[in-house]
Structure 1
Amino acid sequence: MRRLILALQLMTSLPLPPVKADETDFAAAIRWFPATGFAVGAAAAAAMTLGLSVDSWVAALFALLAWVAATGALHLDGLGDIADGAGAVHGDRARLSAVLADPHIGSFGVVAIILQLLAKLILLRLWAEQLPAWGLIPLAVIARIGPLAWTLWLPPLHEGLASRFREGVKPAHLVAWSALALAICPLLPALGSAALLIPLWAWWLRSRIGGISGDGHGAGIEVVESALLAALVFAR
């Protein structure tokens, strides 16, 4: 249970009690990252249901606000950092480390975050008109399978949050969560596109960034979420 609580503390802004944990527990928390999607997806789904009593735009706005609030904008921060890194370094790995470590956000990051929020808002509005709100829950869960795969497939970009997770995840954990995702897909078949989206993000990170970091995980979750929203909306 403490590893699940650690995962929720790392991946959400939910108020949770402190837990005693060691480095092994911290590393193993990544096994529970997909489970945190239940909380995030449920918050967005509940907000969308509330907003539907007004209209689809209000439903989309409520869902987006709940989504950002539930994650504390953590993944958006990672998206901004990765956008700054990819846009500014031009293959200079030393400069990449400096850009990713800089607490300030650059123009590439600002544009990426704005476009991401606009994309999610529009896609959520279309979702509210076409699909059940509860479908946001499995979407959020499946998007968070990505960090398990990226940790296993990619070298750590530097010593930090992502590198500490390498000791905590095994292929069996990825297989188990993937099996759950496969069982869910008949309800919303377009969710199966995650099987392509998650490896594509790994390929992009390796080719443009060189490895995985905490920012890479956050940005990847944001990208996969929006892509899954689009896949489900346009598959209707």
Structure 2
Amino acid sequence: MMRSLLVAIGFLTRLPVPASVYDDARAKSESLAWYPAVGLLLGALLFAFAWLLRNTSPLLASSLVVLVWVALTGALHLDGLADSADAWIGGMGDREKTLTIMKDPRCGPAGVVALVLVLLLKFAALASVDNLPWIALLLAPMLARASLTTLFLTTPYVRSGGIGAGLTDAPRSTCVLALAVSAALCVFCGWSGVLALVVAILVFALWRHACLNRLGGFTGDTAGALAEMIEVAVLVALAVR
């Protein structure tokens, strides 16, 4: 159990974990159930950092929180967002062309625009609410990573040998339990938590539908794009409620 948690932490964040945990194929598969917990850990770290900046200008504090957010994740999902944006536009509705563009390490104009818009919206959402709301900082990362667990449980993974190939046989019951706990935590947070959960489900459903129509499933890049879209959608929803 501990090894699978460490695998999830090591993959989803830049927090240091022992390199030996990656040699355990079973731990890698079981790590999928820990994704929501890692998102909650990430949110707790961001909230703690935001609390330290509570007497700082909201604009400066928000920009620093976004900076630390990117640093903690190593821009993992931002990379997927950029690749997906380039591929979705450049692919012109063609499955094979879309998959080919996503494998290109270069970032095109659509990818750059997507990155700028997402980071700008995160910054603006955080800056528009006094004292950097703890619910938003906790729930946005958790729901984003819970969506990845849900994606692997409900949607075909179409990239054979891809980075997510080892997660396709994750223990279903443990993953479902993790998702149930995540949903319960949202409800426990009151109406704001329920709103965040509803927004996350809506974004998940729309993006999953788009991926099924274009690709017949999902890839690591589209999973990363999903995580970023849910994070920004939750932040914006809680900022404008």
Question: How high is the TM-score relative to the length of structure 1?
Answer: 0.91
Aligned to 1:126: 128
**Which secondary structure does the structure 1 equivalent of 2:175 belong to?**
helix
Partner Cα distance (1:107, 1:233) in 2? 28
CA contact under 8 A between 1:138 and 1:184: conserved in structure 2? yes
1:93–1:121: structure 2 CA closer, same or farther, 3 Å change rule? same
1:12–1:200: structure 2 CA closer, same or farther, 3 Å change rule? same
Aligned to 1:192: 197
CA contact under 8 A between 2:128 and 2:239: conserved in structure 1? yes
Partner Cα distance (1:215, 1:79) in 2? 7
User: Which residue identity lines up with residue 167 of structure 2 in the other structure?
Assistant: F
1:75–1:134: structure 2 CA closer, same or farther, 3 Å change rule? same
**Which secondary structure does the structure 2 equivalent of 1:161 belong to?**
coil
CA contact under 8 A between 1:36 and 1:141: conserved in structure 2? yes
User: Which residue identity lines up with residue 184 of structure 1 in the other structure?
Assistant: C
User: Which residue identity lines up with residue 83 of structure 1 in the other structure?
Assistant: A
Partner Cα distance (1:39, 1:173) in 2? 17
How does 1:1-236 map onto structure 2 within 5 Å? 1-20=2-21, 21-127=23-129, 129=130, 132-133=133-134, 135-159=136-160, 160-170=162-172, 173-187=175-189, 188-189=192-193, 190-193=195-198, 194-235=200-241
Partner Cα distance (1:206, 1:175) in 2? 25
Partner Cα distance (1:43, 1:198) in 2? 25
Deviation sequence 1:153-179 (CA, Å, 0-9, x none): 221121112232110141552344234
Partner Cα distance (1:29, 1:176) in 2? 11
Question: Which stretches in structure 1 are left out of the alignment for 5+ residues?
Answer: none
CA contact under 8 A between 2:62 and 2:132: conserved in structure 1? no
Question: How high is the TM-score relative to the length of structure 2?
Answer: 0.89
Structure 1 position 51, deviation (Å): 2.6
1:108–1:140: structure 2 CA closer, same or farther, 3 Å change rule? same
CA contact under 8 A between 1:30 and 1:165: conserved in structure 2? yes
Structure 1 position 152, deviation (Å): 1.8
Question: Which stretches in structure 2 are left out of the alignment for 5+ residues?
Answer: none
Larger mean Cα displacement after TM superposition, 221-230 or 97-106: 97-106
Deviation sequence 1:79-127 (CA, Å, 0-9, x none): 0011011010112222222211111111111110011111111011123
Aligned length, in residue pairs: 234
Structure 1 position 183, deviation (Å): 3.5
CA contact under 8 A between 1:145 and 1:177: conserved in structure 2? yes
CA RMSD across the alignment: 1.9
User: Which residue identity lines up with residue 186 of structure 2 in the other structure?
Assistant: I
Deviation sequence 1:4-41 (CA, Å, 0-9, x none): 00001110011222234322221221111111112321
1:29–1:176: structure 2 CA closer, same or farther, 3 Å change rule? closer
Structure 1 position 131, deviation (Å): 5.5
Structure 1 position 227, deviation (Å): 0.5
Larger mean Cα displacement after TM superposition, 200-209 or 114-123: 200-209
CA contact under 8 A between 2:146 and 2:182: conserved in structure 1? no
CA contact under 8 A between 2:186 and 2:197: conserved in structure 1? no
1:201–1:174: structure 2 CA closer, same or farther, 3 Å change rule? farther
